[in-house]
Amino acid sequence: MNGTSDGRIKILVYHKGKKRAIRHQNGMIDFDRNTKVDRLFYELPTEIQNRVKEIMINIMKNDQGIFPYG
């Protein structure tokens, strides 16, 4: 129905030679959606974390993915 029922999204951030990832599985209902954030993501500078959050918001605004609330 929404074109995102079984899609997957991977956001990769490379910083100082280390890779951080946010992996997301879309679903039609909240319980089907799953987002995993690497622990190292939270060690990134705040500016980079905020930019990744902006990217995630744009993904939702463009109807390319549906992230769980919060």
Q: Does a structural domain hold residue 2?
A: no
Q: Is residue 69 part of a domain?
A: no
Does 25 map to a domain? Answer: yes
Contact status, residue 2 vs residue 64, Cβ threshold 8 Å: no
Residue 6's alpha-carbon distances to 1, 17, 50, 54, in angstroms, are 11, 32, 26, 23
* Residue 27 belongs to domain spanning: 8-61
Answer whether 52's CB lies under 8 Å from 69's CB: no
Q: What angle do CA 63, 67, 70 make, to 5 degrees?
A: 130
Predicted confidence pLDDT, tens digits, the chain (70 residues): 556 667 889 999 999 999 999 999 887 777 888 899 999 999 999 999 999 999 999 998 988 888 876 6
Asked if residue 68 belongs to a domain, the reply is no
Report the domain count for the chain: 1
The per-residue pLDDT for 15 is 96
Residue 30 lies in a domain: yes
